[in-house]
A = this chain, B = another copy of it.
Amino acid sequence: MTNNEQPTPSHMLDLKEWSKDNALNIFRTADEMSQILGRTIKKVPALQGFTVANLFFENSTRTKLSFERAAKALSADVMNFSASSSSLSKGESLKDTLRTLDAMQADLYIVRHGVSGAPYQLQKWTNAAIVNAGDGRRAHPTQALLDAFTFRTSFPNFDGFGGKKLVIVGDLMHSRVVRSNVELWTKLGAQVTLCGPNSLVPPALAAFEGVERNLNLAEAVEGAHAVMAVRIQHERMQKGLFPSLAEYRMRYQLNEKIMERAHPDALVMHPGPMNRDIEISGSLADSERSVIEKQVANGIPIRMAVLYTLLVGRKKS
């Protein structure tokens, strides 16, 4: 293990550019951040004098608060920009808006945008570090990192991702969370099984090495170490992409009965926000197996680790 020699990327746009060792380093840094968050004074001056800017062109209270909390716990200043309140509505071009914001001399941008690849665009126009907080259907790397980190810290006697099996079930078609999780878990050595209605599980996603597609939930869950239910978009049904809510529940809802087929220690996950008793039974979501709230909580140490790593702790090649 010579992971110290692995240079760390300057941005977190997509996990493609982050190696297995880079990811494991984030986990180790997040362990330290978790310790800080366990103290009475949950704050360190590590990023004092740094400015982190939230650029949310799509609304997301949950993710924005999580990044804001992480930045403040490291004593960074936080600035919030939301597209609706901007000159974009006066017809200013996206480029000019970003160059203007960049003149504010932020050290790092956290970007969420409805268009896939937007954070890559932004990167061309700034010297600041960029963290992708979700772009179109493409990627949501910190969500995948916190999901895997939660498994790593919660699975009993965790001994590495190798040989572990993750099942993801639900509406996988348009999900950047799913794409980033597939990317990360396979890189870490786990095996991923995708499940859901035929129209919502794109075969292309299963083309990654270590990924399989199995539309029968009972079979898919067999022996799994973690099962992640993904939100069903109600809008989909109106477009006829699956028959009915009742049928969806019957065939794809994650519940206690289905979980009996998984590994005895298997964890239940959901990236939120949940539709209780639709893609997941409320009782399972509240059960001991469930680490759903831990996922949200782990968003803070993971994002602290990402901000810290990009701003001051980066290993250069």
- Would you call B79 and A61 a contact (CB within 8 A)? no
- Would you call B92 and A69 a contact (CB within 8 A)? no
Write the chain B residue with the least CB distance to A92.
B273
Stretch in A171-179, A191-199, A261-269, A294-302 with 4+ CB within 8 Å of B: A294-302
A297-B268 Cα distance, complex, nearest whole Å: 48
Contacts of A297 in B (CB 8 A): 103-105
Q: How far is the CB of A231 from chain B (nearest CB, A)?
A: 9
Stretch in A94-102, A128-136, A152-160, A212-220 with 4+ CB within 8 Å of B: A94-102
Asked if A20 CB lies within 8 Å of chain B CBs, one says no
Asked if A200 CB lies within 8 Å of chain B CBs, one says no
Asked if A249 CB lies within 8 Å of chain B CBs, one says no
How many chain A residues touch the partner (CB < 8 A)? 51
Contacts of A62 in B (CB 8 A): 86-87, 100
Asked if A81 CB lies within 8 Å of chain B CBs, one says yes
- Would you call A42 and B100 a contact (CB within 8 A)? no
Stretch in A21-29, A43-51, A202-210, A221-229 with 4+ CB within 8 Å of B: A43-51
- Would you call A276 and B43 a contact (CB within 8 A)? no
- Would you call A103 and B51 a contact (CB within 8 A)? no
A249-B96 Cα distance, complex, nearest whole Å: 20
A120-B251 Cα distance, complex, nearest whole Å: 38
Q: How far is the CB of A8 from chain B (nearest CB, A)?
A: 18
- Would you call B104 and A85 a contact (CB within 8 A)? no
- Would you call B59 and A49 a contact (CB within 8 A)? no
Write the chain B residue with the least CB distance to A69.
B104
Contacts of A101 in B (CB 8 A): 65
A66-B101 Cα distance, complex, nearest whole Å: 9
A69-B104 Cα distance, complex, nearest whole Å: 7
Asked if A275 CB lies within 8 Å of chain B CBs, one says yes
A49-B36 Cα distance, complex, nearest whole Å: 10
Q: How far is the CB of A41 from chain B (nearest CB, A)?
A: 3
- Would you call A72 and B61 a contact (CB within 8 A)? no
Contacts of A183 in B (CB 8 A): none
- Would you call B273 and A96 a contact (CB within 8 A)? yes
Can you spell out 26 A-B residue pairs with CB atoms less than 8 angstroms apart?
A39-B49, A41-B50, A42-B49, A42-B51, A42-B105, A62-B100, A65-B79, A69-B79, A69-B104, A87-B272, A87-B273, A91-B273, A91-B275, A92-B274, A93-B276, A96-B272, A96-B273, A97-B273, A99-B296, A100-B272, A100-B296, A103-B293, A103-B297, A103-B300, A104-B300, A105-B297
